[in-house]
Amino acid sequence: MLPANDDLQALDTQDQLVIAAGAEWFKLPGQPMVVLETRIPLRRLLLALGELKMRTPNAVLPVTAAFEAGWPGERATPTAAAMRVYTAVHTLRRMGLKGLLIRRRRGYVLDCAVQIAASESQFPPAMPQDDDSLELLAAPIAQSA
């Protein structure tokens, strides 16, 4: 669920990285909101990093734990797993976390204050969620195909 414009302005007054409860989006002060809705491994990885930062501020998320967070239950060689993590970290950095998502000797850490939204419903939806309005939004797409 994406926050409404009023909620985005309130988030800008906070001097920290704000991550949605399910990591559907994240927001840095003075920056546009970054949506990760369809990027499931990125969401899982960012949420793991954010939760670790809030629980144990100086802890580092090892590459093996980052792989398990992003791709739970999947098997991969150590090299392939590390490459997936490196690619995901690179992508998150390109999406706005450059300088904040940093590599330490044994893994990764968010080098900033973090807040994770208490629940999906902490912020009201930016657009209507009833079935009729979703059908109206989808209609022009179906007609143009």
The percent of residues in the chain predicted with pLDDT above 70, rounded, is 71
CATH of the domain at 79: 1.10.10.10
What's the confidence (pLDDT) of residue 14? 56
Please indicate, yes or no, whether the overall pTM of this predicted structure exceeds 0.75: no
Range of the domain at 138: 5-144
DSSP state letters, 44-105: HHHHHHHHHHHHSTT--B-HHHHHHHHSTT----HHHHHHHHHHHHHHHIIIIITTTEEEET
The percent of residues in the chain predicted with pLDDT above 90, rounded, is 58
Count of domains in the chain?
1
